[in-house]
A and B are shown apart, each in its own frame.
Chain A
Amino acid sequence: MLPEIGQFLLVLSLLLATALTVLPMLGYAKNNQTLMQTARPLSHVLFITIMASFVILVVLFIQQDFSVLYVAENSSLELPLRYRITAAWGAHEGSILMWVTVQALWISAVAKFSRSLSLSQISRVLSVLGFIALGFVAFVLFASNPFETIFPVPIDGNDLNPLLQDFGMIMHPPLLYFGYVGLSVAFSLSVAALIGGEINEQWIRWSRRWTNIAWAFLTMGIILGSWWAYYELGWGGWWFWDPVENASFLPWLAGTALIHVQAVSERKNAFRGWTVLLAIIAFSLCILGTFLVRSGSITSVHSFAADPFRGIFILVLLAIYSGGALVLYTLRANQLKSRDTINLNSRETLMLANSLIFITATFTVLLGTLFPMIFEAVGKKISVGAPYFGLMFFVLMIPMAVLLPLGSQLKWHRDDVMAAIKQLMPYLLVTTVLAVIVWFLFKPLNIRAIAGIYGGLWVFTATVGQWIKRPGRATAGFIGMSVAHIGVAVFLFAMSMTEHKDIEQDILMSPGTTKQVGGYDFTFTGVDRVRQENYQAQQGHVEVRREGRLITTLNPQKRFYPKQQMPMTEAAIYAGWTKDIYVSLGEAVNKEGAWAVRIYIKPLIRWMWFGGILMLTGAIIGLFSARIKRQEDKQRDQVMAQQLNIS
C-alpha cells in the first residue's frame, strides 16, 4: 500500500508543479492578481506532497519492504537501522527523489521569505522554480522511480554498498543538494528578471542572500566529500580531480564568481548582465554535474547504473533550462543594461577581476572534464591527468591570491590604486619575513609549495592587518568577508603543506617489526579477526611511537561484506593538530603473517578543510549585514504600501 501512496504523491506533485509553473506566469502575463497569488500556497503544498513521498521511502527502508525494487537493491536484513535510513538516498532513484525534496523545500522557503519582493516578481520567480521542479519530478517518475515494485518479493535485500555505510555518506549528498538546488534561486531570479526585462538593486540583494546560503552548503558538501574520500577510499588522497568531484566543484567556482559580482551589483547599477549570466551558468553547471554523475558517461562510485535513457533525460532538462535561459539572455540582456560607470581605480574593478579568474578556472576544469568524452565520441580513448588540473589551478590561483588583499584594501566607487598598494607594503614585508621563517623550518620546498605558502601568508597578514586598522566598528559584511578570506589563506597554506610535505610509504611488515617513517616508529603487532553487524574484518594493530613514547595504537581494518562479496579497506587515522598519521592495510603477503601496510603522514590536512569551513562561515556571517537588513526593511514597507494602494 505504502509504495502506491508514494507513487500517487509523486503524480500529485507533478500536477502541482505544472500548476505552479503555469498559473502565476499566466497571471503575470495577464496582470491577474488572483492567479499570481496562487504561487505561494502552491509552493507550500508542493513541498508537503514531495516531502511526504520522501518520508514514505524512508519508512519503506525502515520496514524493510523488499517488494519495492529500490529497497531490495539497497538494503538487507542485516543492515543497521541508521544505514537503512540513509540508504534511502544511497543510490540513484532515492537520491534524485531527495534532490526534488530539497528543491521543494527551497521553493517553499523562497515563498515564505520573500516579503521584500512585489507580487509580480515573486510569482515569476516561483513559476520558474516550479518549472525546474516539474522537470525533475518528471525525471523521478519516468526515469528513476524509487517506488517500483517487484514480484516475487525477495526474502532478503542486496545490501547497501559498503563504501556508503558511513557518516560522511549520510551528510554529503543532502548538503551538496542543498547547495546545487540553492543556486536555482539565483537562476530563477535571473530568468524572471529577463522575462520582465527589468532588474533592480533590491532584487539582487534578495537573491544574494540565497546565493550565500547555497554556496555555504555547497562548500560544506564538497568538504565532506573530500574528507570521506580521504578516510573511506583508503587511498589517503583528499582530491583526485575525478570527474564527479569536478561536477561539484564547477558550480562552486561559478558560485564564487557570482557571490563577488553580486556584491557589486546589489550596491549600484553595474554588472547587471554579468550577474544574470553568472547565475545562469552556475545553476547550469549544477545540472551538468548531475548529468555527469548520473548518466553513466562517467563511471564512478557515484554512478550507480549506466542507463542511457537517464542521461538523455537530464541532457534534455539541461537543454531546456540552460538553453532556454541563455536564449532569453541573448534576446533580453540589453534591457538590463547597467547605467553606472565603473571607475578603474575601485574595488569594483577587482571584483570583476575576481569573477574573470574564477570563470576562467571554471572553464579550464570544465574542459578537462569534458574533453575525454568528446574524444570518446570520435572513438579515441584518452584521459586528462590530475597534473593538468593541478597546474592550471595553481596558475590561476596565483593572481587570485596576489589581488585579493588589494581588493579588500580598495574602497568602493573610487580610490587610488597606488596609495592602496603603498598601504599594503607593510603586510608584504611581514609576509616575506614569515615566509622565510617557514622556509627555514620546512625546507626544502619546491616552487609550487613556496608560492602556495607565500600566497596563504600574504592573504592572511593583509586580511588581519586590514581588520585591525579598520576605523570604526566592523560590520557583519566586513567580518564575513574577512573570515572567508582568512579561510582562503588557511586553505592555501595547509594545502601547500599537505601536498608537498607529506610522506607516503607502502611497506612490508611482519608481526613484531618496527619501521621508521617521518620521525615516528611504527610497530606492527599483527592482525586478528573481528565480527561486526554486517561484516567481518581482519584488524591490524600498529603502535605509533615518537622517541620511545607511545602516541597511539592504530587499528586499520580489511573488511569483508559477505552480502556483496566485497572487500573494503578501512583506514585508521590519528588526527593531530599539526598532522594526520594514516595507516591502512594492503593485503596479507605471506604465511608468516606479514602484511603490506600503507603509512601516510599528512601535515595540516585538517586545517585545509577548516579553511573551507571558515569560507562558508564567512558567507553565513555576511547574511547578518545590518545595511542589507535596513534596505530590505525599507523595500518591504514599500511593497506593503503598494499592495495597500491596489486593494
Chain B
Amino acid sequence: MTPTRKRRLILISMVIMGVAVATAIFLTAFKDNIMFFKSPTEISQNDFPVNRSFRLGGMVKEGSLQRLENSLKVQFEVTDYGADVQVEYEGILPDLFREGQGVVAIGRMENKQLFVAEEVLAKHDENYMPPEVADILLTEGQQ
C-alpha cells in the first residue's frame, strides 16, 4: 500500500467511525426525548407512557381549578369532554391559563388518576397556542 493510500484509508475509517458514533448518540438522544401527546380519553384507557414524561392536552374543566392555601400548588382537571384527568402543578401558571380554555401540560402520571405537571402551556395570545390545543378547540367547535 502506498503512503497516500494508507493515509486515505486512515482518514476514511476515521470518518466512518465518527459517523457511527454520531449516529449512535443521535439515536439515543432521540429515543429518550421524543414526547408523546395523549388526550384524557386515551389516559382513561390506560394508554399512556409509564414513568416517562409526555404531553397531556385538553380543556381546563370549568370549576375544577383549586389553589392550595398559601402555596403555589394548584390542581385542575383536564377534559376532552370524553374523560377527565386530575392534574397537579406547582408554580406560576401562564398568563392565558383559564377554565374552559385549552391547555397542554408536560409531566408524567403519578398513578392511574393523577398527572403531575412540570410545565403548563396555554394559549400565548389569540393566535399563538400549542398546535394540540388548536386541534382540540377545532374539534370542540365542530361538536
Contacts and interface: CB of A to CB of B under 8 A. Distances in A.
Are A and B subunits of one complex? Answer: yes
Given A566-B126, A598-B92, A507 B36 contact: no
A299 B93 contact: no
Interface in B120-143: 124-132, 134
Interface in B5-23: 7, 11, 22
Contact of B33 (A388, A508, A590): A388
A381 B34 contact: no
Given A298-B131, A569-B95, A596-B92, A385 B72 contact: no
Nearest to B119: A235
A384 B30 contact: yes
A344 interface: yes
B67 interface: yes
A45 to B, nearest CB: 37
A567 B127 contact: no
Contacts of A344: 7, 11
B127 A303 contact: yes
A506 B26 CA distance: 34
B127 A388 contact: no
Given A381-B36, A598-B92, A388 B128 contact: no
A351 to B, nearest CB: 15
Interface residues of A, number: 44
Contact of A381 (B30, B70, B132): B132
Nearest to B30: A388
Q: Chain A at the B interface: mostly helix, strand, loop or mixed?
A: mixed
Contacts of A391: 25, 29, 33
Contacts of B55: 381, 383
Given A392-B29, A596-B72, A304 B127 contact: yes
Contact of B125 (A382, A564, A596): A564
Interface residues of B, number: 36
A506 B92 contact: yes
A380 B90 CA distance: 29
B45 interface: no
B26 A392 contact: yes
A298 to B, nearest CB: 7
Given A506-B92, A569-B95, A299 B25 contact: no
B71 to A, nearest CB: 6
A566 B37 contact: no
Contacts of B34: 371, 382-385, 388
Nearest to B8: A344
A234 B91 CA distance: 14
A367 to B, nearest CB: 8
A507 B72 contact: yes
Nearest to B132: A381
A301 B128 contact: yes
A586 interface: yes
A360 interface: yes
Please name the 10 residue pairs, one residue from A and one from B, whose CB atoms are nearest each other, closest first: A586-B92, A388-B33, A381-B37, A385-B33, A391-B29, A567-B95, A506-B91, A301-B128, A299-B131, A383-B35
Interface of A: 161-163, 234, 298-301, 303-306, 344, 360, 364, 368, 371, 380-385, 387-388, 391-392, 395-396, 506-508, 564, 566-569, 586-587, 589-590, 594, 596, 598
Given A300-B128, A387-B32, 17 more contacts: A234-B95, A299-B130, A304-B127, A344-B7, A364-B26, A371-B34, A382-B34, A384-B34, A384-B35, A385-B53, A391-B29, A395-B25, A506-B91, A564-B126, A566-B95, A590-B70, A596-B72
Interface of B: 7, 11, 22, 25-26, 29-30, 32-37, 53, 55, 67, 69-72, 90-93, 95-96, 124-132, 134
